[in-house]
Chains A and B, each alone.
Chain A
Amino acid sequence: MKRNLPKFVLWSLMMLMASLVFASGGSEDDVVLRVFSADSFSSEWGPGPAIAEAFFEETGIQVEFESPGDTVTVLNQLILEGGETRADVVMGPDNGMLKRVLEAGILSPYASPVLADVPQELILDESFHLLPYDFGQFAICYDSESGVRVPTSLEDLTSPEYEDSLILMDPRTSSPGLGFLLWTVAAYGEEWPAYWERLQPSILTVTDGWSQGYSMFTTGEAPLVLSYGTSPAYHAEYEESTRYLAAEFSQGHMTQIEGMGILAGTEHREEAEAFIDFVLSPAAQEMLALYNIMNPVNSTVELPASFDVAIRPSILEFPGGAPSDEENDALIQTWIESFAP
């Protein structure tokens, strides 16, 4: 018995672990609306849970999120699954991915009546397959305590005083990274590779994603980072700090409009439409501002006070609309080669 005791303890510990792991599911009988979204949206720290709860209180419809990764992963999964998907609604594909979404033919259009409250310039898809729910402008954020001079334009960033000061993201692996690349293409036209050559001394590093870059910025590794015009609102809202601010550039800013849509094969069309209407309604739009730190698209919404520190610069359109995947890849290839030593 004495020798068996440790073994007994080990076994019961294992059983306990097993039951803990397997005990976290719920029942599957209720009718639920399946929303596929990026992990950042459905996360406990994102806007998803709050919106789902409010939606349930208003309509009695349950929402279940599924998030296998970032928006690109979600979209890939939906494209791979085609008609067999269990998803009813997708949230997250932005104006940069619009062509891919439309080509895949996975969404069915819905002209929500609430779109009447959305400014025309934010309607990212005239055919209403992908409906906007929030937007943000890519911007260079700066640490006002570092003593860095606030840059005023893309060209200003190439100034020698910014040597090793700027953290960017890789357009191969990150959507802000691609957004910034397109921004420079929109601003400089054919001359954009030359701009990047001038910019290189200012770049400290190019990170794989926004999270890594922004965390390096807030821990003081560099005074400038590629982020969003709304980023200062987070620090104002949750840290009561105006240390981190966004620089407004003269030539206008590239804009990311995040969209949602109803899957063509859904069996819960009515509930899906109700959900879309709800996300566009002022109640949910306020949550998006607070928990996603993006601008709401509904113009009747009063912005939280913390958004006073956010910038709302003019929108710079990409000439001829967002490029296709192939065009993006060609740009990215030229971009990498501009770095060759």
Chain B
Amino acid sequence: MKRLSQEGAPALALIWPLLLWVVAFLAPLVAVAFQGALSLGTLGGLLSSEYYRGVVKVTFHQALLSTLVSVVLGLPGAFLLARRRFWGQGLLKSLSTVPFVLPPILAVLGFILVFGNAGAMNDLRVWLLGADSPKWRFLYSLRGIVLAHAFYNFPLTLRIVGDAWESLPLSSTRAARSLGASPARSFWHADVPRLLPALGTAATLTFLYCFLSFAVVLVLGGGPNLSTLEVEVYRLVKYQLDFDQGSALALVESSVALALLGIYALADMKLRQRNLDHSTTTQKREKKALSRWESLWALAYALPAVLLILAPLAAVVINSFLGRATRSAPLTLTLSHWKRVFGGGRTAGVPAAAALRTFALGGLTAVTATATATLAAWYAYRRRGISVKLMEWGLGMPLGVSSVILGFGFLILARLVPPSPVLRLAALLAAHTMAALPFSYRLIAGAFRGISPRVPQAARCCGAGPWRTLWGIELPLVRRSMATAGVFSLALSAGELNATLILAPGNFTTMPMAIYRMIGAYDIFGACALGSVLILLCTGAFAALDRYGQKEHP
């Protein structure tokens, strides 16, 4: 009986993640598959068209470049956050994740307010070089796309690699140093191999995000000659209702994504096996204060990085306070947009209620996604073999599936869900959880793999059951990653728009919906005010989660 529970508990833990995956991911895909007949002929036809080959090329090109820039930009930041101590560290870390939450429409607007042809950077140019100097053109080309993708995605590297860097054990570097290795050698041979898996995770997630990017590419690329596969899927499925060609094209996207996930999983497994840590000490290295020389290069790095991340957010906030009373009156500070949004009138109470709903739903998503990911990661940690590999693939798949296709699946399935608000909201929660799961799983599974298998063996010898070992020993060891997973899940849920529009019951307005609707009704500055609230609340929530993750466990 005891043996059965030792073996059976992880399998039992897998039931819930599996159920969720089938309902919230597989079912919508199957629903779309029923709409069209996917044939290899269609696929061949698409790929032999010069036009679609061009689109595939652009999609790859921009995603590769964007990933490279995001990762390179993120690495020094990861080092600074993980190994050095300085004022404002926590705030910077929390703020860096905020772009993830802003609805794309507002994030792109903030970006343009800073880097656009009439943006703050060009104001600076006029001030420095005079009005006659040639315009700085950052956007409306491939460069614009790459910059914006870095703005969105470099927090992935910052956080994922940063977390790994922070949890490097003291033992390895001590061993290396005691064998006479210089700090540089010890870093290269003892630390870098341990950081590589995290780097792989960050790069893979970033690439997939950019690969399936949509609005950023259209708006900041400057024209239809730079557009991605996702735009074409959208065009085929949504405007033509051509499910045959649309799903064929989406299949091209997914194959690339799945192949990449496969390579990544293989490399990850190899790297981590080499790094398996059998020491039972969880003692971490001390964070050092910045030395004078380091402060210099940290400043040289941080200024442009902070500009890239914070300036667009700041631009959104500042815009919510700007007004021009009449035509040709000077620009003044005003609270009128805030009064209009949060005061009385037709929409009184709507924004406040939307904020409450967004955070209630985001909080629930964070809890369910983290719990689900933890169960799955625990299974992967306790079991070996093909079932684990299959599960990892399955959980990565949502990252590689076109959101247009998934949205359409939801649209088809939505009519099967009775119009009861409770069921609708449960479906919405499931959809958000599924969207957050690939992130949460990668983060938490990575942390689990860092635990020596001797830990559960020791616990078993002392008579602890599997659940008790999980709760009492293993969970505290992966808490930092659980908190980061919570941050990303909250961010993804609080920024999600498409599934929310389709699945939410009639009166369930969330903040991204409200922002989108206000801009749709011409109220751009009011939307900036609401966006500012979203920025503020998210920064606070992320800071709280980060603090929880940082707390030393007993």
Q: Are B411 and A80 in touch, CB under 8 angstroms?
A: yes
Q: Are A341 and B517 in touch, CB under 8 angstroms?
A: no
The docked-state distance in angstroms from the alpha carbon of A144 to that of B521 is 21
Q: Are B505 and A212 in touch, CB under 8 angstroms?
A: no
Q: Are A243 and B113 in touch, CB under 8 angstroms?
A: no
Q: Which of B105, B219, B356, B502 contacts A205 (CB 8 A)?
A: B219
Q: Which of B412, B514, B517, B518 contacts A80 (CB 8 A)?
A: B412
With A22-B422, A44-B346, A45-B347 in contact, is A208–B214 under 8 Å at CB? yes
The docked-state distance in angstroms from the alpha carbon of A3 to that of B400 is 42
Q: Which of A25, A64, A72, A210 contacts B239 (CB 8 A)?
A: A72
**Any chain B CB within 8 A of the CB of A127?**
no
Q: Are B238 and A72 in touch, CB under 8 angstroms?
A: yes
The docked-state distance in angstroms from the alpha carbon of A241 to that of B327 is 6
Q: Which of B119, B350, B506 has most chain A Cβ within 10 Å?
A: B506
Q: Which residue of B lies closest to A204 (CB)?
A: B140
The docked-state distance in angstroms from the alpha carbon of A215 to that of B518 is 11
Which residues of A have CB within 8 Å of B347? 44-45
Q: Are A68 and B509 in touch, CB under 8 angstroms?
A: no
The docked-state distance in angstroms from the alpha carbon of A205 to that of B415 is 38
Interface residues of B in 37-84 (CB under 8 A from A): 51, 54
Q: Which of B234, B421, B425 contacts A172 (CB 8 A)?
A: B234
Stretch at the interface among B167-175, B266-274, B280-288, B358-366: B358-366
With A325-B239, A329-B240 in contact, is A17–B360 under 8 Å at CB? yes
> B498 to nearest A CB, angstroms?
7
With A14-B364, A206-B222 in contact, is A46–B521 under 8 Å at CB? yes
> A143 to nearest B CB, angstroms?
10
**Any chain B CB within 8 A of the CB of A337?**
yes
Query: Number of contact residues on B: which range applies?
Result: 35 or more
Type the 1/0 row for A14-29, where 1 means its CB is closer than 8 Å to any CB of B: 1001101110111010
With A76-B241, A207-B218 in contact, is A28–B420 under 8 Å at CB? yes
> A167 to nearest B CB, angstroms?
9
**Any chain A CB within 8 A of the CB of B112?**
yes
Q: Are B117 and A204 in touch, CB under 8 angstroms?
A: yes
Q: How many A-B residue pairs have CB under 8 A?
A: 211
Type the 1/0 row for B510-531, where 1 means its CB is closer than 8 Å to any CB of A: 0001101111111110010000
Which residues of B have CB within 8 Å of A40? 517, 520-521
With A24-B505, A68-B502, A72-B238 in contact, is A220–B118 under 8 Å at CB? yes
Interface residues of A in 130-167 (CB under 8 A from B): 144-145, 164
Q: Which residue of B lies closest to A14 (CB)?
A: B367
> A104 to nearest B CB, angstroms?
10
> A73 to nearest B CB, angstroms?
7
The docked-state distance in angstroms from the alpha carbon of A76 to that of B243 is 12
| Interface residues of B, Cβ cutoff 8 Å to A | 35, 51, 54, 105, 108-109, 112-113, 116-119, 139-140, 214-215, 218-225, 231-232, 234-235, 238-241, 319, 324, 326-328, 346-347, 350, 356-357, 359-361, 363-364, 367, 408, 411-412, 414-415, 419-422, 425, 429, 498, 501-502, 505-509, 513-514, 516-524, 527
Query: Can you name 20 A-B residue pairings with CB atoms under 8 Å?
Result: A24-B421, A40-B520, A42-B506, A68-B502, A80-B411, A145-B327, A145-B328, A204-B222, A205-B219, A208-B214, A209-B105, A214-B519, A215-B527, A220-B118, A221-B112, A221-B117, A221-B118, A325-B240, A329-B239, A336-B51
| Interface residues of A, Cβ cutoff 8 Å to B | 13-14, 17-18, 20-22, 24-26, 28, 39-40, 42-46, 49-50, 64-69, 72-73, 76-77, 79-81, 84-86, 144-145, 164, 170, 172-173, 200, 203-212, 214-216, 218-222, 231, 234-235, 238, 240-243, 291, 293, 325, 328-329, 332-333, 335-337, 339-341
The 7 closest A-B CB pairs, nearest first, are A25-B421, A45-B521, A43-B517, A172-B235, A17-B360, A68-B502, A211-B519
